[in-house]
Amino acid sequence: MCQLLGMNSLKPARLSFSLEGFLRRGGETDEHADGWGIALYEDRRCQLLIDELPSARSPLAEWIQLYSGRSRNVIAHIRKATQGSISATNCHPFLRHLWGQEWSFAHNGNLDVSKLPAPVCFTPCGQTDSEHAFCLLLDGLFSRFGRQAPGLAQLSQTLAELARLIAAAGSFNFVLSNGEWLFTHRSTELHYLQRAYPFGRAHLLDCPLGIDFSRHNEQDDRMIIVATRPLTDELWQPLPVGELAVFAEGRRVAC
């Protein structure tokens, strides 16, 4: 199946180190060679870039690592197709607008869409179970709250309820953001870590590259990294199975 990568940071930051290892899994160190994509937020505006080429051989992926700017929220995805053709239309992340916010979503897993209702307000453009599920999440939010965005506590509770309903149709690991918060849900495999002061060293698992974060960060820098499988030799923690986790300003928050 696919793999996910997400970042939520207190201050705008670059994800280039983690991306270096993650994107190699798209056809070099792993089999996820059916396209890739990344959603980068500048303030709350989302820049979405997708490519049906394997990320390990994509000129766009190389460009992103060299020239992407700083962001507080990032979602990236490398695809191994289970439903839908290999095409840009079926590459994650997917993007939709709700409440004047730009929502991005990426999924790892396999859902039986015959067990799920058809989306009503938000319509999939491609053929994947993932985009179908994303549209159902947004349908559920719009049905519950209408045109007025709720607070974080109500939003998180509703997303958790919707995620449980959709996960009944299969495996539903996802990362979701509106540019302010990062939401995750684990069915099978999803990990996270926090990078904060005092910063240490890390080495990527997919290539011989290391970094001393203390040389690149200030004391008040803080970020969360989420990945399907650990990317470095740091202490990654598995997220709880079947629960929605929420990250804001570079830390996990309770809602």
**Which of 104, 107, 88, 167 minimizes the C-alpha distance to 138?**
104
Q: Residues 2, 46, 91, 135: which is the catalytic one? A: 2
Extract the runs of DSSP E, i.e. beta strands, from the chain: 3-13, 36-42, 45-51, 71-78, 94-98, 101-108, 173-177, 182-185, 191-196, 201-203, 210-212, 222-227, 237-238, 244-248, 251-253
Q: What is the DSSP string of 43-55?
A: TTEEEEEEESS-G
**Which of 88, 227, 239 minimizes the C-alpha distance to 163?**
239
Residue pLDDT, tens place only, 50-107: 999 999 999 999 999 887 889 999 999 999 988 889 999 999 999 999 999 999 999 9
- pTM exceeding 0.95: yes
Report the distance separating Cα 206 and Cα 22, nearest Å: 8
Q: Which segment of 43-47, 144-148, 159-163, 165-169 scores lowest on mean pLDDT?
A: 43-47
Residue pLDDT, tens place only, 180-219: 999 999 999 999 999 999 999 999 999 999 999 999 889 9
**Which of 126, 131, 125, 139 minimizes the C-alpha distance to 109?**
131
pLDDT of 44 reads 84
pLDDT of 68 reads 81
Tell me which amino acid residue 185 is.
Answer: H
Report the distance separating Cα 180 and Cα 175, nearest Å: 13
Residue 135 annotated as catalytic: no
What 3-state class would DSSP assign to 84?
Answer: coil
Strand partners, 13: 71
**Residue 156: which H helix or E strand, with range?**
helix 152-167
Query: What is the average pLDDT across 237-253?
Result: 97
Residue 205 zone, left/alpha/beta (φ > 0; ψ -120 to 50; rest): alpha
Give the mean pLDDT of the chain: 95
